[in-house]
Structure 1
Amino acid sequence: MIRIMSRDLMLAVRAGGGFGLGLAFFLIVVVLVPFGVGPETGRLALIAPGVLWIGALLACLLSLDRIFALDREDGALDLLVTAPLPLEALVLGKSLAHWLTTGLPLCLAAPALGILLNLGWPGHLWLFVSLLIGTPALSLIGAFGAALTVGLRRGGMLLSILVLPLYVPTLLFGAEIARRGTEGMAVGTVLALLGAVTLGCLAVLPFAAAAALRVNLR
């Protein structure tokens, strides 16, 4: 699994854009919001947690089709499936590589971008914490959706339609943590719910994605 993860990280760096594409999209979303809703600091501060979480979610969505599709096109996926490695471990390795190249940079950049939306200072820490806990679930859900559509040509739109409804609980709990943290409210319950979503994805989705891969690669 570690070799799979290292291989995907190397390919992401060599291909270019693996680390920068999501961040660039995230930055564009955050910069455009004041043009759409107005520059009033009070209004921006009110919507900042939700906007930052939606931007991070959409940035994660950009690279989901690359999790399995590129390996499918060059035949590497068939070799990986026949290797003496459980498919569940393959899914976990690729999900972790996707999180390291997309989710983790977003976690690190979000507090800085929150300044552009006048996010309150207590909220920066909780935004980072919520993204750190929630974005692994986004990568796992995305890997499941990518496994379902790996056999389809131009399945990117279908992939988005499949995974976006599954992203809703993570989005709700993550944005609520950042909002409560900004307002100085207790975040323990919502933080536990977000952690439960991520742990549930970790427990279930590698097996579901592996089953989808077995069906699509027959």
Structure 2
Amino acid sequence: MIALLVRDMKLAMRAGGGFGLGLAFFLIVTVLVPFGVGPESGLLSKIAPGILWLGALLACLLSLDRIFALDWEDGSLDLLATSPLPMEGVVTIKALAHWLTTGLPLCLAAPLFGLLLSLPDTGYVWLVLSLVIGTPALSVVGTFGAALTVGLKRGGLLLSLLVLPLYVPTLIFGAEVARRGALGMDAMTPLLMLGGITAGTIALLPFASALVLRVNLR
């Protein structure tokens, strides 16, 4: 399993879907927002949690179509399906590789980008905490969407349409945690809801993704 994880991380870097592309997109979103809404720091500080969470969510979308595409094209996915490692384990490893190469760098870069949006000092810890807890759900849900569209030509747009509605609960509670933390309010309730969503996706969606892959490989 460790070898598969290292292999998927290397493939993500070589295919251009690693942390560099996601961070660049995240930075572009953060820089363009002040041009669109104005440079007023009071307004930016109010919308900063939502903008940062939305930017992280959209950045995660960029590399979802590559999770299974490369393995499908070279036949590795068929070999993985017949290997001793259960398909659920394969799906989990691929989701973890996606999070390590996309989600984790976004979590680490979020405080720096928060400075560009005048995020209040009290909001940085809650922003990072919400991203660390919430972004694994984005990777797991994205892996499920990638399993549904594997083998489809130009399935990137379809993948986005399938995944975005499933991302909404994570976005709502993640942004709410960051917003309440920035205002100095109690953020434990949305944080627990966010953690519950992540735990539920990790517990259930790998089995659904494995089932979908088995159907697509027949």
Give the structure-1-normalised TM-score.
0.98
My pick for the range that moved more, 149-158 or 129-138, is 149-158
Q: Which residue of 1 aligns with 2:146?
A: 146
What's the secondary structure of 1:64's corresponding residue? Answer: coil
Q: How many Å apart are 1:75 and its aligned residue?
A: 1.0
What's the secondary structure of 2:186's corresponding residue? Answer: coil
Please list, as runs of the form range in 1=range in 2, the aligned pairs for 1:30-69 lying within 5 A after superposition: 30-69=30-69
Mark the runs of 5 or more structure 2 residues left unpaired by the alignment. none
Q: Which amino acid aligns with 1:177?
A: V
Aligned residues: 218
What's the secondary structure of 1:68's corresponding residue? Answer: helix
Deviation by residue 1:83-121 (Cα, 9 ceiling, x = unmatched): 111000000000000000000000000011000000001
Q: How many Å apart are 1:14 and its aligned residue?
A: 3.5
Q: State the distance in 2 between where 1:116 and 1:14 align.
A: 30
Q: State the distance in 2 between where 1:89 and 1:58 align.
A: 26
Give the structure-2-normalised TM-score.
0.98
Q: How many Å apart are 1:15 and its aligned residue?
A: 3.7
My pick for the range that moved more, 6-15 or 114-123, is 6-15
My pick for the range that moved more, 100-109 or 2-11, is 2-11
Preserved contact between residue 122 and residue 181 of structure 1 (Cα < 8 Å): yes
Q: State the distance in 1 between where 2:162 and 2:208 align.
A: 14
Q: State the distance in 2 between where 1:53 and 1:206 align.
A: 24
Cα RMSD between the aligned structures?
Answer: 0.9
Preserved contact between residue 5 and residue 94 of structure 1 (Cα < 8 Å): yes
Q: How many Å apart are 1:47 and its aligned residue?
A: 0.5
What's the secondary structure of 1:109's corresponding residue? Answer: helix
What's the secondary structure of 1:67's corresponding residue? Answer: helix
Q: Which residue of 1 aligns with 2:107?
A: 107
Q: State the distance in 2 between where 1:57 and 1:193 align.
A: 18
Q: State the distance in 1 between where 2:158 and 2:88 align.
A: 23
1:123 aligns with 2:129: no
Q: State the distance in 1 between where 2:150 and 2:16 align.
A: 22
Q: State the distance in 1 between where 2:130 and 2:15 align.
A: 29
Q: Which residue of 2 aligns with 1:179?
A: 179
Q: Which residue of 1 aligns with 2:201?
A: 201
Moved over 2 A (4+): 12-17
Q: How many Å apart are 1:13 and its aligned residue?
A: 2.9
Preserved contact between residue 151 and residue 217 of structure 1 (Cα < 8 Å): no
Q: How many Å apart are 1:5 and its aligned residue?
A: 1.1
Q: How many Å apart are 1:204 and its aligned residue?
A: 0.4
Deviation by residue 1:40-69 (Cα, 9 ceiling, x = unmatched): 111111100000000000000000000001
Q: How many Å apart are 1:190 and its aligned residue?
A: 0.9
Q: How many Å apart are 1:17 and its aligned residue?
A: 5.0
Q: How many Å apart are 1:2 and its aligned residue?
A: 2.1
Q: How many Å apart are 1:151 and its aligned residue?
A: 2.2
